[in-house]
Structure 1
């Protein structure tokens, strides 16, 4: 009798049929891992190039020291109201206040100084407007030489500032004080337009406005004159004349107290200015010089 041949068990057949599948799955996993590794390496390389592009100093304008860009830099401006005289002690305090602003500038931030004259315009002898090129301690040593950066700061920024500051704090006197008009004119300039982010204005003044817009004189040194226009009317007139350019400005008043008007300055006049500033869209704060 012939022997019957045994059929292979299902488990063996099944085992043989699955071996190629396990091999194919392993190869697929290896390909995926290789692709992931390649993407990770490419991402790391791209990140390095992006980091270099961000940290590498950008070219700057030789005249303004501002980075060449289609956007304006943040801008801090200082207006010194010289339409009334002040003492030498006050002059020294004004200089110290300006120095404090200078020392807190961010890298690339624009810093402007202006002297207010009797016409509500800025005396060019007291004008300074440059971007902070950065001090040595603000340098990234991977891309900049801190010593050279400090030298450039001293020569191109601090030196011109010193020259303007000497005249800026010299006391003078003028027959009128168009303070509000000066602020509005500043906001008409391109560098201080609403397109500039983070606009700050340090106004060093006694705030005793005396112009067609309104006057602080005539109320006995304690109250505003009885015929004073409403603050909202003053704000509307300024907007009609100069445009709606002051909205968003942070106005910081460094008040020069006057012995004969100090009650007015800290009382009714401050309230009047607060309402005008609010209607013009400015955020106003006060402190004494």
Structure 2
């Protein structure tokens, strides 16, 4: 009887051990499936826009003033600053590049799309890094590396409607369905910043802010820049009727009075 009891106990112990091992394996498998499921949505992008499925993580607009010629030295520095700006756009960030034309609100879009992230930004378990690298090169990296050489640099135009251009960007991009509530909004303006239209001209009125407020331009082109960070890449002109420092102060006040965040002004090298 004692020998039979020991056999029964040994058999029960083996059954319990097997059940414990099976339970551990089941938990491990469930954990693995849960881990794979949790990562399966990460790095996925919309095939039509190259943006994350939940929308862009940020919006960056670059406005390049093409209404006056730019010297070779300044253009070289502008290209360098442009590449720095694009280099700061994170995976999932949206970029739109415009040139400013002479008619108020008339902008030409040179590039429009999201940074899909290169191969290093996706998980090899749930994505194909080589395929993502190729998409990044074709849709983002290569086009933007070539774009600075396509910046127009022609003759002087009849107007430089910078304020109207900024208003158009705010309404068409920063207020669009692409903008999420907490997404960063960045505006970079490469220009001599000499506003010159029929409604208001800094050549005629100088930098007196009260004269600007009294003009029709404030009511016509005024726009809320709430939540928008503004950087100016400043093109210096030899023939302007005011000092560059005073000019910077005018635009700082203009951005802040329109509820934007004036981040910085970068003086581009060269005189134009």
Q: Under TM normalisation by the shorter chain, which class is it? A: 0.7 to 0.9
Please name the residue that 1:68 is paired with: 53
The TM-score with structure 2 as length reference comes to: 0.75
Please name the residue that 1:17 is paired with: none
| 1:145 shift after superposition | 3.2
Q: Deviations over 1:241-272 (max 9, x none)?
A: xx64x2111010110111233853321x2222
Paired residues of 2:200 and 2:215 also in contact (CA < 8 A)? no
Gaps of 5+ in 2: 1-19
SS at match of 2:207: coil
The TM-score with structure 1 as length reference comes to: 0.71
Q: 1:184 aligns with which of 151, 155, 167?
A: 167
Q: Deviations over 1:189-235 (max 9, x none)?
A: 1x42273421101100111011245321136xxx5269823389855
Please name the residue that 1:224 is paired with: 207
RMSD: 3.2
> How many residues were matched structurally?
240
| 1:51 shift after superposition | 2.7
Considering only CA atoms, is the larger Rg found in Structure 1 or Structure 2?
Answer: 1
| 1:113 shift after superposition | 0.7
Distance across 1 between alignment mates of 2:209 and 2:168: 28
Distance across 2 between alignment mates of 1:89 and 1:154: 29
Q: Which moved more, 1:163-172 or 1:151-160?
A: 163-172
Larger strand percent: 2
Please name the residue that 1:209 is paired with: 195
Q: 1:52 aligns with which of 39, 51, 73?
A: 39
CA change 1:73–1:65 in 2 (3 A) is: same
Gaps of 5+ in 1: 1-33
CA change 1:232–1:144 in 2 (3 A) is: farther
Q: Are residue 200 (structure 1) and residue 186 (structure 2) matched?
A: yes
Q: 2:111 aligns with which of 117, 128, 138?
A: 128
Q: Deviations over 1:14-52 (max 9, x none)?
A: xxxxxxxxxxxxxxxxxxxx9xx99xx599568525532
Runs of 4+ aligned structure 1 residues displaced above 4 Å come to: 41-47, 231-237
